[in-house]
Amino acid sequence: MTTSHPDAVVGLPAHLLNQFDVPGPRYTSYPTADRFVEAFTQDDYVQALRQRAEGATVGGKKPLSLYLHIPFCESVCYYCACNKVITKHHEKGAEYVRALGREIDLHVEQMGRGQAVTQVHFGGGSPTFLSDAELGDLMGCLREAFRVVPGAEISIEVDPRTASSERLGRLRDMGFNRISFGVQDFDPQVQVAVHRVQPFEQVRDLLVAGRELGFESTNVDLIYGLPKQTPDSFAQTIRRVGELRPDRIALYSYAHLPQRFKPQRRIHAEDLPPASHRVQMLSAAIAGFLGFGYTYIGMDHFALPGDSLAAAKRQGRLQRNFQGYSTQPDCDLIGLGVSSIGKMGAVYSQNAKTLEEYYDALAQRRLPVVRGIALTRDDLVRRAVIMAIMCQGRLDFESIELAHLVNVQDYFQSELSGLAPFVEMGLVTLEPGALQVTAQGWYFVRAIAMCFDRHLQADRVRGRFSKII
């Protein structure tokens, strides 16, 4: 059974663009993070940690992944919706590294030392705000607390403005084997509009250095829908990135939510491209990167055929987590640092969102968890359905029925009936025992997944999400 490919799409009808120019979740989790509640506390998270340590989780012990959030940036990018602290005072990094060490120690107290880890990711903010010594101390702390297995993916997000080939070499020596560069767009006018100016040559030289240093994977992040972007200008960025040939490309749609994210108020709404232009950019990016030999992984990821993400796609092993598409099997995830989100067994948790609150909890020797959710049986079934749609573009009823002991036709009778408009529009086909996303449907896969989101259907409040197109 094969999934369809969106490169077959040469144009999308205007009525579809208008109909789906609406907000919707990205489904890096289900339930989505807006469903987390403050009634979920540190005590609930500790219980989940202990259950893992005792091997009491359903289905046995899962692989373990670590995410470390480094919130600091020297300057603000106007599009950014991440949890960040803008400062030029690098001494703040040392205090934060000490706090991360305390948080790691608290996890060891609950789980024991030496839990096997298969994936480590440093995100932000700008992790390279920290000095090499501070990053080295953090890596040493992690290796002392956990057993980072041979072949583990150890990745870091790099701000090209804070890096050099020499610095990449030091990161490689620390054990990092995957690097991701935030590019967003190479057009100078767009860079000025979003307050992130970095020459093409700077990124090019770092990518070349990364390959020469033996990094297993290099990634470039792009955003379409930014102010001053046009289909023609973004086509030039697509061409330049394709010629650089990073191993992976993450292509995100800009979510303009100035009511939630203060830096975005500096972006003039009249400078944003209309929905039709955003779709042209997405369509051209897909066609362009496929033309450069990339595999289309899904909604926002591309990879060269030899990359592990492309292999996972071919083999039906693709997963989706809080960082997007992933090769890792259904992992437990420990989120470390301010605002970090974790997944442990059947619970999600999130740390305090401010440094003050984060530091205060650790000073009291408490894990800084301030909210989360314990998944119900219904949540688990729906998560499996939504992730199958998002990752494979196909839902085989039998696999859900065997794993969750439900009859899909009965359990999702109203949802399957509600897909009728999607079938009529040519976005979905319903086969005996399966749902298949079509070529056009890949553009609107979030809308298809939304049909199975019980929480979203219940309240219809979607303004907090980015737009589907």
Q: What is the pLDDT of residue 56?
A: 53
Amino acid at 205: D
| 196 labeled binding residue | yes
Residue 243 has phi, psi (to 5 degrees) of -70, -30
Fold of the CATH domain 1-31+377-469? Arc Repressor Mutant, subunit A (1.10.10)
Q: Which residues of the chain have pLDDT under 70?
A: 1-15, 17-18, 21, 56-61, 459-469
Element (H, E) at 358: helix 355-363
The answer to whether the CB of 360 falls within 8 A of the CB of 384 is: no
Give me the pLDDT at residue 18, please: 63
Supply angle C-alpha 464, 468, 469, rounded to 5.
130
The confidence score (pLDDT) of residue 469 equals 63
325 known member of a binding site: no
- Phi and psi based region of residue 114 (left: phi greater than 0; alpha: psi -120 to 50; beta: remaining): left
In this predicted structure, what is the pLDDT of residue 17?
62
- Kindly state the tokens that stand for 26: 């990205």
Determine the pLDDT at residue 10: 42
Which distant-in-sequence residues (6+ apart) come within 8 Å of 415 by Cβ? Answer: 451, 452
Q: Is residue 431 part of an annotated ligand binding site?
A: no
In this chain, the answer to whether the domains covering 1-31+377-469 and 34-336 adopt an identical fold is no
The per-residue pLDDT for 57 is 52
Q: What is the pLDDT of residue 467?
A: 63
Cα–Cα distance, 309 to 11 (Å, whole number): 28
Does the annotation place 267 within a ligand binding site? Answer: no
Q: Answer yes or no: is 391 a known binding residue.
A: no
Q: Is 73 annotated as a binding residue?
A: yes
What angle do the packed helices 91-111 and 355-363 form, to 10 degrees?
A: 50
Q: Which tens digit of pLDDT belongs to each residue from 115-150?
A: 999 999 999 999 999 999 999 999 999 999 999 999
Q: Spell out the domain ranges in the chain.
A: 1-31+377-469, 34-336
- Tell whether residue 67 is among the known ligand binding residues: yes
**Torsion sign over Cα 140, 82, 371, 29:** negative
SS3 134: helix
Tell whether 341 is in a known binding site. yes
How high is the pLDDT of residue 385? 97
H helix count then E strand count, the chain: 18, 19
User: How many Å apart are CA 161 and CA 29, to the nearest integer?
Assistant: 31
Q: Which pLDDT score is estimated for 5?
A: 42
Pairing of strands 369-374, 319-321: unpaired
pLDDT at 13: 64
Q: Per DSSP, which regions of 254-385 are E strands?
A: 295-298, 301-303, 319-321, 324-326, 332-336, 341-344, 347-351, 369-374
Q: Which fold has domain 34-336?
A: pyruvate-formate lyase- activating enzyme (3.80.30)
| Run of H or E including 78 | none
- Distance, CA of 328 to CA of 147 (rounded, Å): 17
- Residues with Cβ within 8 Å of 301's Cβ and at least 6 positions away in sequence, in order, are 248, 249, 250, 251, 309, 324, 325
Say whether 141 counts as a known binding-site residue. Answer: no
pLDDT of residue 434: 96
| Residue 8 annotated in ligand binding | no
Asked whether residue 79 is marked as a ligand-binding residue, the answer is yes
Give the CA distances from residue 151 to residues 127, 169, 172, 220, in Å, rounded to whole numbers and listed in that order: 22, 19, 14, 22
Please give the radius of gyration of the chain, using alpha carbons only, rounded to the nearest integer. Answer: 22
